[in-house]
């Protein structure tokens, strides 16, 4: 549990760093400013008019179900094809969420990718542990909050309930499903 604290605390410190006008208000060293500028350039170099994701679904519900059904039997997040890949994060998600007030705005890209990867692994382990109680015969109740626009993406936060034979669990580790063009895919998981 202690190793998770080292991941979560720095993230929480960066999440809400806005002044009363909604602008990020931090004083960084010249070295950090250089890293942030290099990250910004790389992220913005991936901005496009349209984007493509692999293994997209026709609906957000279908995207969540496909992701969870794999999580029943697959404990390795990298082998679940129904979540954004590292390449899709870099080329699709990050260019679209950059500048929207996320911690990506104030974290060097390599550090951000490392943080997101660790948080995703922890979240996936929790999902996998919960889903091992179920089979593909489970029923899913999926409700979505209002969508949020991120440049060319639309983000939708799901609320997921899984039921089978009187057992009920809640999956709150799926933080965002993204709509990319006409496709949907799980984009963010975290504890």
CA distance 157 to 163: 20
Residue with structure tokens 């605390």?
Answer: 9
Backbone φ, ψ for residue 100 (5° rounding)? -100, 15
Structural domain includes residue 136: yes
Q: What is the pLDDT of residue 13?
A: 44
Give the count of domains, the chain: 1
Q: Which of 52, 81, 87, 84 is nearest to 69 (CA)?
A: 81
Q: What is the pLDDT of residue 16?
A: 46
Range of the domain at 97: 54-189
Q: Which of 129, 119, 123 is nearest to 173 (CA)?
A: 123
Structural domain includes residue 46: no
Q: What is the pLDDT of residue 87?
A: 96
Q: What is the mean pLDDT of the chain?
A: 88
Structural domain includes residue 149: yes
Structural domain includes residue 132: yes
Exposure letters 10-28 (e unless 16+ CB within 10 A, then b): ebeebeeeeeeeeeeeeee
Q: Percent of the chain at pLDDT above 70?
A: 86
CA dihedral of 186, 82, 119, 61, whole degrees rounded to 10: 30
DSSP secondary structure letters along 103-132: GGGGS-HHHHHHHHHHHHHHHHHHHHHHHT
Using the predicted structure, report yes or no on whether residue 83 has a pLDDT greater than 90: yes
Structural domain includes residue 10: no
Using the predicted structure, report yes or no on whether residue 11 has a pLDDT greater than 90: no
CA distance 99 to 92: 14
Report the predicted TM-score, pTM, of the whole model to 2 decimal places: 0.84
Structural domain includes residue 27: no
- Within 8 A by CB and 6+ apart from 122, the residues are 4, 7, 190, 191
CA distance 158 to 175: 7
Using the predicted structure, report yes or no on whether residue 135 has a pLDDT greater than 80: no
The pLDDT tens digits of the residues spanning 34-45 come to 999 999 999 999
The pLDDT tens digits of the residues spanning 84-126 come to 999 999 999 999 999 999 999 999 999 999 999 999 999 999 9
Q: What is the pLDDT of residue 27?
A: 77
* Mean pLDDT for the stretch of residues 25-32: 80
The pLDDT tens digits of the residues spanning 58-74 come to 999 999 999 999 998 89
In terms of average pLDDT, the best of 70-79, 119-128, 158-167 is 119-128
Structural domain includes residue 42: no
Using the predicted structure, report yes or no on whether residue 136 has a pLDDT greater than 80: no
Residue with structure tokens 């002044």?
Answer: 19
Q: What is the pLDDT of residue 20?
A: 52
What residues are paired with 189 via a beta bridge?
Answer: 174
CA distance 88 to 51: 9
Q: What is the pLDDT of residue 170?
A: 95
């Amino acid at each position: 549990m202690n190793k998770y604290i080292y991941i979560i605390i720095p993230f929480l410190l960066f999440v809400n760093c806005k002044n009363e006008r909604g602008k990020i208000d931090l004083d960084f060293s010249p070295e950090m400013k250089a890293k942030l500028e290099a990250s910004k350039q790389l992220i913005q170099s991936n901005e496009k008019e349209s984007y493509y994701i692999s293994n997209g679904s026709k609906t957000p519900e279908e995207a969540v179900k496909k992701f969870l059904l794999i999580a029943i039997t697959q404990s390795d997040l990298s082998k679940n094809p129904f979540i954004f890949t590292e390449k899709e994060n870099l080329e699709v998600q990050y260019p679209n969420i950059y500048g929207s007030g996320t911690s990506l705005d104030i974290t060097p890209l390599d550090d951000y990718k490392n943080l997101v990867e660790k948080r995703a692994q922890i979240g996936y382990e929790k999902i996998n542990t919960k889903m091992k109680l179920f089979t593909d015969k489970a029923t899913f109740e999926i409700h979505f909050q209002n969508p949020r626009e991120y440049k060319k993406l639309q983000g939708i936060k799901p609320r997921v309930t899984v039921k089978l034979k009187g057992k009920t669990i809640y999956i709150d580790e799926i933080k965002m499903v993204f709509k990319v063009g006409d496709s949907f895919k799980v984009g963010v998981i975290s504890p």
